[in-house]
Amino acid sequence: MAVTIIDVAREANVSPSTVSRVITDHPRISVKTKKKVREVMERLQYYPNFQARNLAARSTQTIGVVMANSATLAFQNPFFPEVIRGICTKAHAGQLGIYLSTGGTEEEIFQEVVAMVQGQKVDGIILLYSRVDDKTLNYLREMNFPFTIVGRPYEYENQIDFVDNDNRKIAQDVVNYLVELGHKNISFIGGDLKFVVSSDRLEGYQSALANHELTYQNQYFIHDFAYEQEGKEAIRHLMTQENPPTALVAHDDSVAYEIIRFLEELEIRVPEDVSIISFNNHALSEHVKPPLTSVDIHIFELGIKATELLLDRIKQPEREAVHQFVDTTLIVRNSCRSLNPREK
Amino acid sequence: MAVTIIDVAREANVSPSTVSRVITDHPRISVKTKKKVREVMERLQYYPNFQARNLAARSTQTIGVVMANSATLAFQNPFFPEVIRGICTKAHAGQLGIYLSTGGTEEEIFQEVVAMVQGQKVDGIILLYSRVDDKTLNYLREMNFPFTIVGRPYEYENQIDFVDNDNRKIAQDVVNYLVELGHKNISFIGGDLKFVVSSDRLEGYQSALANHELTYQNQYFIHDFAYEQEGKEAIRHLMTQENPPTALVAHDDSVAYEIIRFLEELEIRVPEDVSIISFNNHALSEHVKPPLTSVDIHIFELGIKATELLLDRIKQPEREAVHQFVDTTLIVRNSCRSLNPREK
DNA sequence: CTGAAAGCGCTTACAG
DNA sequence: CTGAAAGCGCTTACAG
C-alpha cells in the first residue's frame, strides 16, 4: 500500500538496485540518473521502509538508552532528562534514533537489554548508571556488544568505554573548600554505595579528610540517605550528637533540599548554624533558600560525549577502550559560611 | 552469525513455520511440539530478529514520542520527563518500545515524524504538546495515522484523540480561590499563546474575572513570559503601575520561581506584599521559599492515559475519537495570603 | 496439527 | 555506470 522501491524503479525506468543506490548517494551512479530518480521519489512521496532497509543492511540506525529504573524514580531526578537531552542532540546530528528502556525493575531492564541485543533492535547501548556487579553490564561486556557507560565501571575499567566526572576529585575539592572556610567537622550524606558514583565521592571525601589530617568518623557519615521520616531521623541524630558537624556535604542537590527542610524543622539555620554543599547543580538550586552552593557536573556534556564514544565504538568495534572525564565547576552561592574570624 | 529461526527449526526437527508459530504461541500447535521447540530455543539462546519479524508482520511494536523541542528546552521542564515516565510505564506493560524524537526545530521534528510514519518506524505517535496550526499535527491527521495528543487540539477537536486537564476550568478555580481570599486585582502571567494550554488558561482566567464582575485589564496580563532581563523588566513594570495587582497567577511553577526572584530584587515580599499561585506543581515547589501554592495536574497520569488511548486507536483505527480529562488538585502552601480582615 | 512456498521491502556482491 | 539475483530473518495464507 505504501510506495516501495519497486514503484519508484518502474516509474523511473531503472532497476530497484539503482534506486537503492540513489538513496545512499552511491558515487558510481551518474548525476543524471540520480536526478531522475530523485524527482520520481519526490513525486511519489517515497520514503524507504526503515525495517526492510535495516534488515538488509544489518544495521539499525538506533541506539538504546538504559536508565537504572525508568518507570519509577529515574525521571524524578533531573540528571536523566538532561543526559538524554545531550544524547538526543548528538544522535539527531548523526540521524540516529533513540530507543528508550522502559523496565521498572533490574531484572526487567536486563531482559529488555537482552532483547535489544539479541533481537538486533539497536546498534549500541548507553548505560546511564554504573552499579556494582551489574548483570546488564556484565552481559554487554561478555557479548562484546558496543556500549558506553555514563559513570565509571566498577570492574574492568580499562576494557570499557565510559565518560564520567572525576568524582573522587570533586569530592576532595568540596572538602578542601570547606576546610578553607575553616570547617573541621564535616559530615557526608552519601547515596547508595552500590552505585559507583556514590562510593567514588565517599572515597574523595575520606581522602581529603586524611590530607587535612582530620580523622574520618563514622558518626559523621550517613549512608544511602532516605527521604521522608527515616532521613529526618538520621539528620536529627547527626545534628544532636555531642560534637555536631559544622558543614554537610550532600551527594545530590535534591538531597540537600530535603536536608534543609529537616534542619528547618529542627530550627537549625543554614548557613548560620551549619553549612551545606552539594553535587549536580540542578536548575532549581539557585531558587531554593538559601541558594545552594553546588558542583555543576555538566550533565548535558556527559550525554554528548557518551554518544560520541558509542558512535566511535560502533564504527571501530576493536579499538582500545576510551575514558573521558568531563570538567566540573563549583558554583558558590549562599549555603556555606566561613568560620574564619578575619573574613567574618 | 546470530542464531535464526532456521537453526532452531533444524535442531528441533520442525519447519520454520512451526517455530514461528511457537513464538507467537499459536493455539493450533501441539503442546508437545511447543515444549520441544521452546527447549531448543532456550538451549540455542534464540531471540527473534526484531526487524525481520516486524517487516514480515507489518507492525513495529513501538510508539513514537514527540516533544515540542527535545534538544533544546523541553527537558528543562519537568513536565516532559514525567509524562514520558507515564508513557514508559504503560508501554512496558504492553511490551512496546519507545522511539524518541530528537529534533531541535519545528521543521526538523516535522521531518522526523514524516520519516517515522512513511518509513513505518512506529505504529502510532504521541504528541506531547498542542500548538496552533501545527504542521506535524495536520500531517498526522491527513495521513489518518494513529496518534494521540497530550493537550487539547486547536482544531478538529472531535476528530482527534487527546487527554488533557481541563485547563479553562482550573484557571477559573485558581481565580476563584484568590477572590475568596479577598483579591480583586489579579494579574495573569501567561505562556506562549501559540500553545493551546496557554490560551485555555488565559480564557479561564478571563471568564472567572467576568463571573466575579471584575473587568479584565490589559496591563494585568503578561503574555509569553520571558526569563532573564526581559521578564524582569515586565515584572517591574507590572508592579510599579499605579494600581498594582495583589495576586499573580503564573502559568508554570518555574515561571513562578523566577518571578519570586525578581520580586525579591524589587523588595516586594511574597506573600506579604503580593500573592502568587501557579500551575503544574513541580517536585520542588514545596522546597522553594515561600513554598508555592500550585495546581497539581497529574502529569504521570496524562502519560498513562495518552498511551492507553493510542493503543486503543491502533487496535481500532476507525473508532470514534475519544477525549479524556485528567483531574487536578489545588495544593495550598504558603505563597498566597488572605486579604479578608476576619481571617488575618 | 504442520509444512512448503511466497512475500515483507530493502541491500549488495557479482557481472558486465 | 547499471541490472539480475540472492539474501536479510521472519510471517502467513494455503494446502493437506
Mean pLDDT of A115-127: 92
The whole-angstrom separation of Cα B152 and Cα B321 is 13
Which residues from chain A sit within 8 angstroms of residue B98, using beta carbons?
Answer: 99-100, 102
User: pLDDT value at position B79?
Assistant: 83
DSSP string of B163-212, one letter each residue: EE--HHHHHHHHHHHHHHTT---EEEE---TTBHHHHHHHHHHHHHHHHT
Range of weakest confidence among A67-76, B127-136, B184-193, B264-273? A67-76
Structural contact between residues B278 and B294, judged by C-beta atoms closer than 8 angstroms: yes
Query: How confident is the model over B114-148, as pLDDT tens digits?
Result: 989 988 999 999 999 999 999 999 999 999 999 99
Smallest CA–CA distance, residue A115 to chain B, in Å, is 7
The whole-angstrom separation of Cα A24 and Cα B298 is 45
Q: At residue A339, what is the residue type?
A: L
Domain B5-44, classified CATH 1.10.30.50, yes or no: no
Q: Out of A75, A118, A261, name the one closest to residue B85 (CB).
A: A75
Which residues from chain B sit within 8 angstroms of residue A100, using beta carbons?
Answer: 84, 88, 97-100
Helix, strand, or coil here: A64?
A: strand
The whole-angstrom separation of Cα B86 and Cα B246 is 37
User: pLDDT value at position A84?
Assistant: 86
pLDDT category at B1 given cuts 50, 70, 90 is: low
User: pLDDT value at position B210?
Assistant: 95
pLDDT category at A101 given cuts 50, 70, 90 is: confident
Three-state SS letters, A306-321:
HHHHHHHHHHCCCCCC
User: pLDDT value at position B14?
Assistant: 93
Structural contact between residues B92 and A103, judged by C-beta atoms closer than 8 angstroms: yes
> End-to-end CA distance of chain B, in Å?
78
DSSP string of A158-217, one letter each residue: GGSEEEE--HHHHHHHHHHHHHHTT---EEEE---TTBHHHHHHHHHHHHHHHHTTPPP-
Is residue B336 pLDDT above 60, yes or no?
Answer: yes
Q: Who has greater pLDDT, A173 or A95? A: A173
Cell matching residue B198: 496557554
CB count within 10 Å of CB B328 equals 20
The residues, ordered by sequence, that sit 6+ positions from A106 with a Cβ below 8 Å of its Cβ are A69, A135, A136
User: pLDDT value at position A76?
Assistant: 58
Rounding to the nearest 10 degrees, give the CA dihedral for residues B210, B151, A69, A119: 180
User: pLDDT value at position B342?
Assistant: 65
B 21-60 residues, CB < 7 A, strand D:
21, 23-24, 46-49, 52-53, 55-58
Helix, strand, or coil here: A293?
A: strand
User: pLDDT value at position A282?
Assistant: 87
Instruction: Classify B96 in phi/psi space as left (phi over 0), alpha (psi -120 to 50) or beta.
Output: beta
Range of weakest confidence among A91-105, A153-167, B72-86, B265-279? B72-86
Structural contact between residues B100 and B65, judged by C-beta atoms closer than 8 angstroms: yes
Q: At what angle do helices A167-180 and A196-211 cross, to 10 degrees?
A: 40
CB-based contact (8 Å) between B120 and chain A?
yes
Q: Which residue's entry shows cell 549512608?
A: A223
Does the beta-carbon distance from A99 to B102 stay under 8 Å?
Answer: no
CB-based contact (8 Å) between A52 and chain B?
yes
The residues, ordered by sequence, that sit 6+ positions from A344 with a Cβ below 8 Å of its Cβ are A338
Is residue B75 pLDDT above 60, yes or no?
Answer: no
DSSP annotation of A288 = B
Mutate to test the interface with A, among B51, B96, B105 (most CBs of A within 10 A): B51
Q: Do domains B5-44 and B167-296 have the same CATH topology?
A: no
User: pLDDT value at position A94?
Assistant: 85
Helix, strand, or coil here: B327?
A: coil
How far does the CA of B70 sit from the C1' of D11, in Å?
36
CA of B65: how far to CAs of A125, A225, B70, B211, in Å? 19, 34, 10, 39
Query: How confident is the model over A308-323, as pLDDT tens digits?
Result: 999 999 988 889 999 9
Is residue A149 pLDDT above 50, yes or no?
Answer: yes
Mean pLDDT of A84-91: 89
| Closest CA relative to residue B87, chosen from B71, B63, B110 | B63
How far does the CA of A60 sit from the C1' of C5, in Å?
28
| Domain A62-164+299-326, CATH class in plain words | alpha beta
CB-based contact (8 Å) between B47 and chain A?
yes
Strand arrangement of the beta sheet that strand A62-66 belongs to: A323-325, A161-164, A147-150, A124-127, A62-66, A97-100, B97-100, B62-66, B124-127, B147-150, B161-164, B323-325
Shortest CA to C1' contact from B119: nucleotide: C9
Is residue B70 pLDDT above 60, yes or no?
Answer: no
Helix, strand, or coil here: A17?
A: helix
| Paired residues of B186 in beta bridges | B247
User: pLDDT value at position A74?
Assistant: 46
Is residue A131 pLDDT above 50, yes or no?
Answer: yes
CA of B93: how far to CAs of A332, B100, B305, in Å? 44, 18, 13
Angle in degrees, CA A256, A257, A261, rounded to 5: 110
Q: At residue A321, what is the residue type?
A: A
Does the beta-carbon distance from B99 to A102 stay under 8 Å?
Answer: no
DSSP annotation of B220 = G
Mean pLDDT of A186-195: 91
Give the up-direction half-sphere exposure of residue A285: CA atoms within 13 A in the CB hemisphere. 26
The whole-angstrom separation of Cα A237 and Cα A219 is 9
Is residue B71 pLDDT above 80, yes or no?
Answer: no
Point out the residue nearest to D5 (C-alpha to C1'): A17
**Domain definitions of chain A by residue range:** 62-164+299-326, 167-296
Cell matching residue B314: 491502533
The whole-angstrom separation of Cα A39 and Cα B35 is 53
Mean pLDDT of A10-35: 91
Which string of b and e fits B76-92 if b means at least 16 CB within 10 Å?
ebbbbbbbbbbbbbbbb
Element (H, E) at B17: helix B16-23
User: pLDDT value at position B76?
Assistant: 57
Percent of chain B with pLDDT over 90: 67
Helix, strand, or coil here: B330?
A: strand
Q: Who has greater pLDDT, B216 or A228? A: B216
The whole-angstrom separation of Cα A159 and Cα A147 is 11
Listed by number, the residues of chain B in 286-315 with a beta carbon closer than 8 Å to a beta carbon of chain A are 287-289
A167-296 CATH pick, 3.40.50.150, 3.40.50.2300, 3.40.50.970, 3.40.50.300 = 3.40.50.2300
Mean pLDDT of A284-288: 84
Range of weakest confidence among A182-186, A282-286, B63-67, B75-79? B75-79
Structural contact between residues A248 and A274, judged by C-beta atoms closer than 8 angstroms: yes
Is residue B279 pLDDT above 70, yes or no?
Answer: yes
Q: What is the CA radius of gyration of chain A?
A: 26
Closest alpha carbon within chain A to B303 = A71
Structural contact between residues B285 and B253, judged by C-beta atoms closer than 8 angstroms: yes
Q: What is the mean pLDDT of chain B?
A: 90
User: pLDDT value at position A344?
Assistant: 45
Helix ranges restricted to H, chain A: 5-12, 16-23, 31-44, 50-57, 79-93, 106-118, 135-143, 167-180, 196-211, 228-239, 253-265, 299-315
Angle in degrees, CA A288, A261, A69, rounded to 5: 80
* Residue A207 Cβ under 7 A from any strand D atom: no
Positive or negative: CA dihedral A309, A310, A312, A317? positive
Is residue A49 pLDDT above 80, yes or no?
Answer: yes
User: pLDDT value at position B105?
Assistant: 84
Does the beta-carbon distance from B97 to A121 stay under 8 Å?
Answer: yes
The whole-angstrom separation of Cα A125 and Cα A304 is 14
